[in-house]
Amino acid sequence: MTSETRTYIDFSDIAGVEVTCHECQTSTTRTLERFVDGTCVCPNCETPLLPYNQTDARTLLNFANALRFVQGLKPAARIRLNIKTLSSQTSAGQQ
């Protein structure tokens, strides 16, 4: 018999984004509102964590804005994200 564990989260479960500074390794969690306001700097060394001149940073900001938008929707169906779990990552690596 095969058993599979799946992990799902609702969009409303997403409270924020964790960002880790490459300079000093300090981690900080930002709410989606604070993440998209563009003032994301390291609280320890004040290194800008998401410089606006990089395409990657803009993509992340767009993603956070999209999450905020989706959280406000009231769809006719329940929509959840399937999250990879450690056991499924390990199983996939063993195949």
Contact 11, 81 (CB under 8 A): yes
Give the pLDDT score at 95. 44
pTM: 0.61
Give the pLDDT score at 44. 94
For the stretch 40-74, pLDDT in tens is: 788 899 888 876 667 777 788 888 888 888 888 88
For the stretch 8-17, pLDDT in tens is: 999 888 888 8
| Domain limits, the chain | 13-80
